[in-house]
Amino acid sequence: MTVYEYLLSYQIKPSVQRIAIMDYLLKHKTHPSIDEIYIALCKDIPTLSKTTVYNTLKLFVEHGAAKLLTINEHNACFDGETAPHGHFQCKYCGKIYDIPLAFDREVSEKLETKGFQIEETNLYYKGACPQCAENNVKEQ
pLDDT at 139: 61
Instruction: Kindly state whether residues 1 and 68 are assigned to the same domain.
Output: yes
pLDDT at 83: 83
Instruction: Kindly state whether residues 43 and 61 are assigned to the same domain.
Output: yes
Spatial separation of the C-alpha atoms in residues 111 and 39, rounded to whole Å: 43
Instruction: Kindly state whether residues 116 and 73 are assigned to the same domain.
Output: no
Residue where one domain finishes, among candidates 31, 62, 80: 80
Residue where one domain finishes, among candidates 29, 49, 80: 80
pLDDT at 40: 96
pLDDT at 138: 59
* Structural domain span for residue 3: 1-80
Residue where one domain finishes, among candidates 33, 62, 80: 80
Spatial separation of the C-alpha atoms in residues 107 and 25, rounded to whole Å: 32
Instruction: Kindly state whether residues 90 and 76 are assigned to the same domain.
Output: no
pLDDT at 82: 84
Read off the CATH number of the domain in which 105 is found. 3.30.1490.190
Instruction: Kindly state whether residues 62 and 111 are assigned to the same domain.
Output: no
Read off the CATH number of the domain in which 64 is found. 1.10.10.10
Q: What angle do CA 99, 108, 115 make, to 5 degrees?
A: 140
Instruction: Kindly state whether residues 126 and 139 are assigned to the same domain.
Output: yes
pLDDT at 100: 87
Instruction: Kindly state whether residues 105 and 72 are assigned to the same domain.
Output: no
27 three-state secondary structure: helix
Which pLDDT tens digit goes with each residue over 35-61? 999 999 999 999 999 999 999 999 999
Digits of tens for pLDDT over the chain (140 positions)?
899 999 999 999 999 999 999 999 999 988 999 999 999 999 999 999 999 999 999 999 999 999 998 887 777 889 998 888 889 999 999 899 999 877 677 888 888 899 998 887 778 889 999 999 988 755 65
pLDDT at 135: 83
Structural domain count of the chain: 2
